[in-house]
Structure 1
Amino acid sequence: MSFSVKDIPTKPYEGQKPGTSGLRKRVKVFQQEHYTENFVQAIFDSIDAKDQTIVIGGDGRYFSPEAVQIILKIGSANGVKRFIIGKDGILSTPAASNIIRKYKAYGGILLTASHNPGGPNNDFGIKYNVSNGGPAPEGVTDKIYEKTKTISSYKVLEAPEVDLSTIGETKYGPSEVAIIDSVADYTILLEEIFDFPLIKEFLESHKDDFPILFDGLNGVTGPYARAIFVDTFGLPESSIQNCVPLPDFGGGHPDPNLTYAHTLVEKVEADNIPFGAASDGDGDRNMIYGKGAFVTPSDSVAIIAHWADVIPYFKKGGVKGLARSMPTSKAIDLVAQKKGLEYFEVPTGWKFFGNLMDAGRLSICGEESFGTGSDHIREKDGLWAVVADYDYEEVPSDGANALVKNLNDALASGSLNETKHTAGKDNFVVSSIYNFEYKDPIDHSISKNQGQVITFSDGSRVGATVRMYVERYLPPSASPEELARPAAEGLQSLIDVALEISKLKAYLGVDKPTVIT
């Protein structure tokens, strides 16, 4: 079959700097002439994928089908030997990580903006994952960025579009294209990790007194939820909702927290459902919520770590270590200490966990943005969630910078050390303030300025990265009345002190957070 490759002249666009979560912009930005093509060519210029296998998939958000075809045209023109693509261009982020690892692909290009809203006026994203299935490290993303600043042309294969709706193999110019079932391999993976027969037996025997509900928020996890909960466990259709992936996520915000996952919360409360869960747009974040009880993400990952030895996957391979991001609650640290396990505090970003996993030093970890995972892949995964954070979104940058400067000045001068702060009936004494810095024990890279942390003498912490993370520690010796207080009430005095110290309201000009999780 004949084919031809064409060079298309282009010019650089400013601001195409990807992070570990890729390049995220409004859809209309990606739709600019040559914009997406420039970035995709920069990826291929940076990774040397000639004669390699590349995985393509995403959360199905608006502009995904067009982006898949662009990647195919440019990737094939740059010598990619084989593409593995989820049917209709769909692959959850955890599923894509699994596919990369299972089929020993060179890497993968994921089309997602995670939990951000979708649609023609909202967000799109392109992310490159490396051969371990995890996000590209800074060395790769920096190289991609440098290429975007000097690009003068990109290559395209002149060929018809590939039918993404039909599972099977096809030739595409010099390349092979495999359209695969988006769900099958991931379901097999979970069957190897958990005791599916035991779970099914429990759900069948408690179908009347323990109904469950999973809310896909019209993101990518809908088909996965159907395959697992309905097809495998035999639960009724009423056990899942909003499980059809939509390009605009049904007009909602696919972020699994108490603010945006209100469809789950409302249904759970109305129907007295003891176990509910929601997932985000690309399937790497989750929230657990039962009737009258939001399971805080930090507690959730700590509980999972505590009981990991009864999960078949960890029974077989053991638990190597535990980790959390800096803003995440230290509850998992206490589990590690009790079990005699190594544990780590890392900056926000899954690549830091991936380094530890690849070195055989980490099994279970959690991140403050409702993401929890293990070393079965190199992305967040599962019906888990992480840390209660006090979140201020879309704040003025000048105010945010002033807030950070205020805390840095206090750090430099030591003016907050040993100061006493009172809110309601509670007293808090500042024991230290520091700017979190991380030296990776595997590659020895140093990540500075990862957020200001204020610790108090009773073990409580407050962290600020424009978002505010509030964690209060209550020892087992605390009174039953203290332990029984609702989380919002128990944290309020510490929140008040945190707002007083940081002067957040004055700097940001807001009286309350846009999102509380």
Structure 2
Amino acid sequence: MEIKTIPTTPIDGQKPGTSGLRKKTRVFMEAHYLENFVQSVFDAIGGAEGKTFVVGGDGRYFNAEAIQTILRMAAANGAKHVITGRGGLLSTPAASNLIRKNATDGGLILSASHNPGGVDEDFGLKFNIPNGGPAPESVTNAIFEATCNINRYLTLDTPAIDLETIGETLLGKMTVSVVDPVADYAELMEELFDFTAIREHIANGFEIRFDAMHAITGPYAKAILEDALGAPSGTAINAIPSEDFGGGHPDPNPAWAKDLMNELMSDDGPDFGAASDGDGDRNMILGRNCYVSPSDSLAVLTANAHLAPGYANGLAGVARSMPTSCAVDRVALELGIECFETPTGWKFFGNLLDAGKATLCGEESFGTGSDHVREKDGLWAVLLWLNILASRKCSVSELLLTHWEKYGRNYYSRHDFEALPIADANALMARVSGQLNDLPGKSFAGLEVTKADSFAYEDPVDGSKSSNQGLRIQFSGGARAVFRLSGTGTEGATVRLYVEYLETEPSKLNGDVQLALAPVIEAAHEIADIAKLGRPGPDVIT
């Protein structure tokens, strides 16, 4: 089988971000675009000769065709073995597990996470390193450099191979193993959690609803929640993955999972609700008439993780992204473990997990995980919640209130201003940045600024440094505002404003979130002069 060398030239804009390379699907479908990036990945890691990779994606539009291209290129570049899920499907945490379990040389994961899918929507591709986690900046920088200097890529001229049948196939000299995408992941979950206790809790009438949002976690949820744990058929809804996610937006938050929210925010709703995103790495947790913020979820899981067999010996530490609320910090203090504050991006947790410095980690953007893989893991978070509730034998709202009574409540919200002209977004950040040195001691909306800075991070494991990771404004009394430009969109720019307020008065723990945060929101708007954006308000509030 002849290896074809295809001449090419660099294509602008192929710089991978915190979650790989994300563009509109039609961009990835342009001549040489996908091939240039894949070849650059192989070149940046010292070639593919003799190596083993995991390849899989969330099933969005162009996933099937892109995987065939990657397989041909891997074979042409001398790869020895590729492992993929049936149909080319793998959730991101399941792919991370396969990378680790099989000691591979990394993996190529096709997804744009929570972004919409379809021919006119979004597509993405990222390289995960041998620990199963997203590539660090040293690797993504090498990939980008390779995209700037590429002059050829290698491929084979072969028909598409069968990815629907479990088993092994030869592609040139490379073995392609098609595996059940769920089996290894489900086995890992059963090792971590008390399936017997959860099964009994469900059998005693505890009702669950899981919204897979027409995305990759549908098969995983049905296999684990329904088949293994005995939840009734139909517990997992929207459980068949589709190329355009049923025409919806697979982002598990109150704005996009409206049907699930409506069902749970009812006196006769299920006891527990959850949703996951396009590639299965995010989660939203709900109880009857109760929404759990991701920041609270991380804090509650940290305080109660010992109730699950996989964490019965305690936690080495916990880590959160900088914009995530400080709720987990107080839990870590109580437990006597270290709490690490990192930049946004799951790759920053990898070193802490590998070094045994942290066991649990989480981000405010609906991502939670542990050292079982090196990605955030939506269904893992759901199962840990179920394990805790089965052990504590209480409702979600009761568990939250008990937690707040002990630790206080960080009222918290994220306000997203999406698809802004890049110049307007940069101007807002410049306005805030230009004031940082002068803000301490000034008051806005009755709140005094005690500290203001641009967040910089030095990795405690390898000493690597990351600067300009967001602008922090700390107010007296535990209130805080954070401004950050997001790198997950494919159009314009998104400014995220994160606001939090610490409440310790027992009579005020169950208040309205936006009302409790009103002074912090007002102060942040005044400091940043957000009115200059010309928007009536944020596009999304979570």
Q: Secondary structure at the match of 1:307?
A: helix
Of 235, 245, 267 in structure 1, the residue corresponding to residue 241 of structure 2 is: 245
Amino acid in the other structure paired with 2:444: H
Is 1:197 paired with 2:193?
Answer: no
Task: Read off the aligned partner of 2:111 and give its amino acid letter.
Answer: T
Offset at residue 411 of structure 1 (A) = 1.1
Question: For residue 420 of structure 1, what is the aligned residue in structure 2?
Answer: 443
Matched, 1:459 2:484: no
Structural mapping, 1:406-417, within 5 Å: 406-412=431-437, 414=438, 416-417=439-440
> Which residue in 2 is equivalent to 1:442?
461
Q: Match for 2:226 among 210, 224, 230?
A: 230
- TM-score, length-normalised on structure 2? 0.90
Partner of 1:469: 498
Residue identity in the other structure for 1:436? F
Which stretch shifts more, 488-497 or 374-383? 488-497
- In structure 2, what is the equivalent of residue 290 of structure 1? 287
Aligned residue type for 1:256: P
Q: Does 1:348 align with 2:318?
A: no
Equivalent in the alignment of 2:272? 275
* Distance of 2:518 and 2:192 partners within structure 1: 39
Q: 1:14 aligns with which of 7, 12, 25?
A: 12
* Structure 2 residue 317 is matched with structure 1 residue 321: yes
Q: Is the 8 A contact 1:112 1:125 kept in 2?
A: yes
Q: Secondary structure of 1:306's match?
A: helix
Aligned to 2:525: 499
Moved more, 293-302 or 392-401: 392-401
Q: Distance in 1 between matches of 2:71 and 2:359?
A: 35
Q: Distance in 2 between matches of 1:229 and 1:435?
A: 43
Q: In 1, Cα distance between the equivalents of 2:463 and 2:91?
A: 31
Query: Residue 479 of structure 1: CA displacement?
Result: 4.8
Q: Can you list the C-alpha shifts for 1:266-312, whole angstroms capped at 9, x where unaligned? A: 23235512210000000011001223211111111100000111111
Partners of 1:113 and 1:513 in 2: CA distance: 23
Q: Is the 8 A contact 1:432 1:454 kept in 2?
A: yes
- 8 Å CA contact retained: 2:319, 2:360: yes
- Confirm or deny that 1:489 pairs with 2:502: no
Deviation at 1:71, TM superposition (A): 0.5
Between the aligned residues of both structures, percent identity stands at: 51
- The alpha carbon displacement at 1:432 in A equals 1.1
Task: Give the secondary-structure state (helix, strand or coil) at the position aligned to 1:50.
Answer: coil
Q: TM-score, normalised by structure 1?
A: 0.95
Q: How many Å separate the matches in 2 of 1:16 and 1:479?
A: 51
- Rounded to whole Å, the distance in 2 between the matches of 1:360 and 1:269 is 39
Is 1:300–2:297 an aligned residue pair?
yes
Give the Å deviation of 1:46.
1.4
- 1:458 aligned counterpart, secondary structure: helix
Confirm or deny that 1:513 pairs with 2:513.
no
Q: What is the SS of the residue equivalent to 1:353?
A: helix
Q: Distance in 1 between matches of 2:115 and 2:311?
A: 33
Task: Give the equivalent residue in structure 2 for 1:403.
Answer: 428
Name which of 208, 213, 218 aligns with 2:214.
218
8 Å contact from structure 1 (residues 298, 388) kept in 2:
no
Superimposed CA distance per residue, residues 86-129 of structure 1 (whole angstroms, 9 cap, x where no aligned partner): 10010000000000000111100000000000000000001100
Partner of 2:402: none
2:499 partner amino acid: V
> Which ranges in structure 2 are unaligned for 5 or more consecutive residues?
383-409, 485-494
Distance in 2 separating the partners of 1:141 and 1:80: 20
Q: Secondary structure at 2:88's aligned position in 1?
A: strand
Q: Match of 1:88, SS?
A: helix
Aligned partner of 2:44 in structure 1 is 46
Is the contact made by 2:447 and 2:519 (CA closer than 8 Å) also made in structure 1? no
Q: Once the 2 structures are TM-superposed, how far is the Cα of residue 160 of structure 1 from its aligned partner? A: 2.2
Look up the match of 2:170: 171
SS of 2:419's equivalent? coil
Q: What is the alpha-carbon distance in structure 1 between the residues aligned to residue 299 and residue 264 of structure 2?
A: 24
Q: What's the CA shift string for 1:200-238, capped at 9, x where partnerless?
A: 0111012xxx31100000110000000011111111123
In the alignment, is the contact (CA less than 8 A) between 2:82 and 2:174 conserved in 1?
Answer: yes
Whether the 8 Å CA contact 2:315–2:359 is kept in 1: the answer is yes
Q: What is the alpha-carbon distance in structure 1 between the residues aligned to residue 54 and residue 530 of structure 2?
A: 43
Once the two structures are superposed, what CA deviation does each residue of 1:307-357 show, in whole Å capped at 9, x if it has no partner? 1111111114x3100110000000100000011101110000111111111
Task: Read off the aligned partner of 2:311 and give its amino acid letter.
Answer: F
Aligned length: 501
Pairwise CA distance, 1:500: 1.6
SS in 2 for 1:29: helix
How far has the Cα of 1:409 moved from its partner?
1.4
Range with bigger deviation, 21-30 or 265-274 = 265-274
Equivalent-residue separation in structure 2 for 1:401 and 1:157 (angstroms): 44
